[in-house]
Structure 1
Amino acid sequence: MKNSKFDTYLQSKSPIILDGGLATQLEAQDFILDGALWSARLLPAYPCRL
């Protein structure tokens, strides 16, 4: 079985940045995501959403 590009990255043990679209989904639910630390502000108030 041939390794995928993602498998190759995982095996390299280099840092991997994944963007799952969290901000897009939260904005669709009317959360206001202004400021650089929006996730730090929302985490204590809505831990189940993050």
Structure 2
Amino acid sequence: MYPLDEAARAIVPNLRGAIDIPNCGHWTQQEHPELVNTALLEFLKGL
């Protein structure tokens, strides 16, 4: 999965996960809005 997942968990103890979106730059919400919305809704359902 995400190559820095274990390193991130070491400094972010409540990290719930990471999502890798292939072929995406720094403007994730503009490049893949449907994937961002789906991920946000799934996260919110888990709260």
TM-score normalised according to structure 2 size: 0.28
Which structure has the highest helix share of the two? Answer: 2
Q: Which has the larger radius of gyration?
A: 1
TM-score normalised according to structure 1 size: 0.27
RCO higher in structure (CA 8 A, sep ≥6): 2
